[in-house]
């Protein structure tokens, strides 16, 4: 069995974003139990020069929505970074999942060799679709969700590896 570009992207993205929601809900329960203002978690960061929790979530959402648009040859969705609390982050994740679920398999499959051109931090990149997905998007998605998880763990939220991994698909 071959793994398609769609199988390696959209279902993985949706699963990881749903796992992020699970992680965030545990943080909410923890904040309430410990009588901590949820803004502490929202604005927390691992190091002074790293993005805060909320920005990790925003970047994870942007990474996946932009990737499917680039792979499918669609207009890059524009999302304003205006989240002020966990409820806003849940909405952003929900909108991202809704967008991902509109993408048809045939729009992504066969894009392994499509030239993907984009700029990040002033650096122009040109990658094949497969290289873009496997060596840019997926590592970045995992980095930002892992960092969000780590920020919450660092602040005492009782999370476990299964919270990050979620249940395997059937």
For residues 58 and 72, give the distance between their C-alpha atoms in angstroms, rounded to a whole number. 21
Q: Mean pLDDT throughout 47-70?
A: 98
Is residue 135 in some structural domain?
A: yes
Is residue 2 in some structural domain?
A: no
Is residue 150 in some structural domain?
A: yes
The packing angle between helices 10-34 and 86-100, to 10°, is 170
Is residue 35 in some structural domain?
A: yes
pTM: 0.96
Domain count of the fold of the chain: 1
Predicted confidence band of residue 170 (pLDDT cuts 50, 70, 90):
confident
Cβ-contact 143, 17 below 8 angstroms: no
CATH number of 160's domain: 1.20.120.450
Is residue 149 in some structural domain?
A: yes
Question: What does residue 70 show for φ and ψ, rounded to 5 degrees?
Answer: -65, -45
Predicted confidence band of residue 141 (pLDDT cuts 50, 70, 90):
very high
Quote the domain boundaries for residue 53: 10-165
Is residue 52 in some structural domain?
A: yes
Q: Which residues fall within 8 angstroms of residue 38, CB to CB, at 6 or more apart? A: 27, 28, 31, 85, 86
């Amino acid at each position: 069995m071959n793994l398609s570009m769609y199988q390696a992207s959209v279902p993985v993205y949706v699963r990881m974003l749903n796992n992020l929601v699970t992680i965030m809900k545990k943080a909410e329960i923890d904040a309430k139990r410990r009588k901590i203002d949820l803004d502490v978690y929202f604005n927390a960061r691992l190091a002074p020069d790293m993005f805060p929790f909320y920005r990790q979530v925003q970047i994870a959402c942007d990474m996946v929505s932009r990737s499917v648009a680039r792979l499918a040859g669609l207009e890059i969705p524009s999302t304003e970074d205006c989240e002020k609390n966990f409820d806003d982050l849940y909405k952003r994740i929900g909108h991202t999942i809704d967008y991902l679920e509109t993408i048809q398999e045939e729009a992504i499959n066969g894009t392994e060799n499509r030239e993907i051109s984009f700029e990040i931090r002033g650096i122009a990149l040109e990658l094949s679709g497969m290289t873009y997905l496997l060596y840019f998007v997926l590592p970045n998605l995992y980095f930002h969700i892992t960092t969000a998880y780590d920020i919450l763990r660092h602040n005492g939220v009782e999370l476990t590896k299964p919270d990050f991994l979620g249940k395997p698909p059937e």
